Amino acid sequence: MKIVAFFNNKGGVGTTSIVYHLAWMFADLGVRVVVADLDPQADATSMFVSEERLEELWLDGDQPKSIYGAIAPFLEGIGEIRDPHAEDIADNLHLLVGDLQLYGVESELNAQWARCRERDARAFGVVAAFYRVIRMAAKAHEASLVLIDVGSNLGAINRAALICAEYVAIPLAPDIYSLQGLRTIGPTIGRWREEWDDRRPRSPDPATLPEGQMAAIGYIVMQHTVRLDLPGRANAKWMGRIPGAYRQAILQQQDGDTPTVHRDPNCLASLKNYSSLMPMAREVQKPMFHLKPADGATGAHVYAVHDCYNDFKRLAIEIARRCALQIPSWATDGHAGISS
């Protein structure tokens, strides 16, 4: 099983949309996927699940079917972690339902993170609670891939989420805010990895804990709408600076010459803006590349749907290649390096 987190402390860069569409694409390609919504705002959950179903999931007493409900008894010291509920979204696709109550565990995660240095067994249990839930859900559904969606901050919840991940992909937008964010993300992930490497061996049972690899596999650029005026030229300027900024901040490389985004081996994908498709997709609660004429995708939208499908398929296959994730050969249409 591979666990990939998508993380940027700068909001508005399309992180949740990327996770949502990749989950559907991997499922279409025959990969069993679990999505873990560890963003307390639960944006991914709102994309996957109807409001009527959310009412059933969230307003059912102590919300046992959310990810918060799974860990709450253990955090409160009244029981063990519950067998997690993973919502069936489609064939091969399941969701660990997010919950706004996750905001309430931030301080507890911070406190227990410090106690891990004192070899406190319960502290390790709290810090690794998300990991245990993810592993239990993946095993129950025989998933070979877990995609983690997190919020745009550098808090204790995201730290606990990211130590679960073997791999980290960084969504970006072509603007100064994303480049500035990179300068924070790189050192923060490095610090979290070092701190976990220091703490993990102190556990009474380190084999049950995540390794906290958090290996950066690349970045994904979600382009703004292309324009010919000043904002459009500004986009091109920031696009040109992304490869160098990523190398310096994330990979700690100081190379003088850097390629363009489209030639950068660290770029997983540069996704076009599909703003005309997104409202339709949200309305019918399906990924943009599943839209049909009956959903309103007619005329030029048909070609956009096709392009969107190909963009996300290429991205999914590239992520699989970098994570050594096997995709059935029938789904890859000749892409090398991925086999059943």
Residue 76: pLDDT band (50, 70, 90) is confident
Task: Kindly state the tokens that stand for 238.
Answer: 């920031």
Q: Percentage of the chain with pLDDT > 70?
A: 93
Q: What is the mean pLDDT of residues 160-165?
A: 97
What is the DSSP secondary structure assignment for residue 212, as one 8-state letter? -
pLDDT of residue 234: 61
Alpha-carbon torsion angle 305, 308, 313, 318, nearest 10: 170
- If we measure between CA atoms, which residue out of 42, 172, 184, 158 comes closest to residue 99? 42
pLDDT of residue 233: 61
- pTM value is 0.93
CATH architecture of 2-331: 3-Layer(aba) Sandwich (3.40)
pLDDT at 83 over 90: yes
Ranges of each domain in the chain: 2-331
- If we measure between CA atoms, which residue out of 70, 44, 74, 214 comes closest to residue 137? 70
pLDDT at 231 over 60: no
pLDDT at 340 over 50: no
Q: What is the pLDDT of residues 268-307, one digit of tens each?
A: 999 987 878 988 999 999 999 999 999 999 998 999 999 9
Task: Kindly state the tokens that stand for 84.
Answer: 């997690």
What rounded mean pLDDT belongs to the chain? 90
pLDDT of residue 255: 66
pLDDT of residue 156: 96
Q: What angle do CA 226, 227, 229 make, to 5 degrees?
A: 150
pLDDT at 235 over 90: no
Does residue 38 contact residue 171 with C-beta atoms inside 8 Å? no
Q: Whole-angstrom Cα distance, residue 267 to residue 185?
A: 16
pLDDT of residue 230: 42
Q: What is the mean pLDDT of residues 312-321?
A: 97
Is 25 in a helix, a strand, or coil?
Answer: helix
Q: Whole-angstrom Cα distance, residue 226 to residue 298?
A: 22
